[in-house]
Amino acid sequence: MGTVDPWVSAPARIADPDEGISVDELRLAARNHGMPLEALRYDVTPPGLHYLLTHYDIPALDPGAWRLTVSGAVARPLSLGLEDLRVRPRVTQRVTLECAGNGRARLQPRPVSQPWLDEAVGTAEWTGTPLAGVLAEAGVAATAVDVAFAGADRGFERGVEQDYRRGLSLGEAMRDDILLVDEMDGRPLPPQHGAPVRLIVPGWYGMAHVKWLVEVTVLEAEFGGYQNVTSYRLKQDADEPGEPVTRIMPKALVQPPGVPDFQSRVRVVDSGVVELTGRAWSGWAPVDTVEISVDDGVSWRPAELEPPADPYAWRLWRYVWDAAPGRYELRARARDTSGNEQPVGQAWNRQGMANNHAQRVTVVVR
């Protein structure tokens, strides 16, 4: 690992109470992007509207020259090309992905990083082959503990030079729905979503779905890499180890009704019966309840849920609102069958991870 001046790669920090969004944060917002919330109308997010977060640069990999190595605590190390993967059993899964930092810029005080508001989410149909079959072919040692995944993207982060690497426990990695995918929505992965091959870990926040995958390493000890041990932790203080960020907390979003103002994004709606719709998801268990408030969380009423699609895809909800003239703050909250309930207020942590406090949509009914 190289060393680098702190002005190139500074420690994480929390914004001052009245500090606006910095140019550093804006640079990230201008290159990464969320899903415009009107795209909640689509069961599967159209290409280019799915949220995108790239830690470093999007690498340029030649699919013909690309190899995936499987090594470490295995009986038979593998080196697979794209065609080797494509002749294996193929599975397509519809999966909702959300960035672990979604909602960060709404926290007070604000952790300085990619400044998401509500929109770092998307749903795609991912096609590839189960990781478990590849690991079985390599022959995982009985002493194995974790599996590490390395992408081809490289850069600095909070002072540490690194390739992007994440670890999963062996038990998680052997789930039959973890995929090595080379197609998104029936087409080859686009460069920004990990071409030629990425990992898909249904139910987990985006950091687990390693893009531009080039190495799978079976480890006989816990993976100690930066993205598991330092980043993607729930902590209050910089010095505590914190808890790992794992699965997606339940969340519901409202598709903003009516028409927007260009700058404020406040919505203007004609009075009368308005069908509100949106989506809800959880990485822990199926969502079974969505509730809607039109008075900024004072009172709540249940929405109707459409039948679920895939277990890890969002569910459509509907709510009929008889809208009288006035100003409203619309909110939605979801609960899943494992008992996780979305909070209305924030649960602050210093990296702004796994936030699922309820969205607020400001509406003027005329």
Residues at the site binding a second copy, with contacts judged by CB under 8 A = 2, 4-5, 7-10, 19-34, 36-39, 41, 46-50, 52, 54-58, 60, 105, 112-113, 115-117, 119, 154-158, 161, 190-193, 256, 259-266, 268, 364, 366
Q: Would you give the distance in Å from CA 264 to the centre of its chain?
A: 26
- In the bound state with a second copy, the residue whose beta carbon lies nearer, of 67 and 265, is 265
DSSP symbol at 205:
-
Least distance from C-beta 9 to a second copy, angstroms?
4
Shortest reach from residue 270's CB to a second copy, in Å: 9
Burial 40-67 (b: 16+ CB within 10 A, else e): beeebbeeebbbbbbbbebbebeeeebe
Beta-bridged to residue 327, according to DSSP, are 364
- Provide the CA 133 distance to its chain's centre, in angstroms: 25
Toward a second copy, which CB reaches closer, 105 or 292? 105
DSSP lists the bridge partners of residue 213 as 151
Are 162 and 55 in contact by the 8 Å Cβ rule? The answer is no
Please choose, from the candidates 332, 352, 353, the residue with its C-alpha nearest in 3D space to the C-alpha of residue 342: 332
Assign 317 to helix, strand or coil.
strand
Q: Closest separation between CB of residue 264 and a second copy, Å? A: 6
Cβ 321 to a second copy, closest distance in Å? 18
Shortest Cβ 47–a second copy spacing (Å): 6
115 vs 203 by CB, closer to a second copy: 115
> Of 250 and 256, which CB lies nearer to a second copy in the complex structure?
256
Q: How far is the CB of 115 from a second copy (least distance, A)?
A: 6
Question: At closest approach, how far in Å is the CB of 200 from a second copy?
Answer: 18
Of 156 and 300, nearer to a second copy (C-beta) is: 156
Name the residue nearer to a second copy (CB basis): 123 or 129.
Answer: 123
Token pair 């995936």 is at which residue? 68
CA distances from 75 to 71, 80, 136, 140, 171 (A): 9, 16, 10, 7, 18
Cβ closest to a second copy, residue 39 vs residue 180: 39
Q: Side chain identity at 251, as an amino acid letter?
A: K
Residue with tokens 């700058």: 263
294 by DSSP, 3-state: which? coil
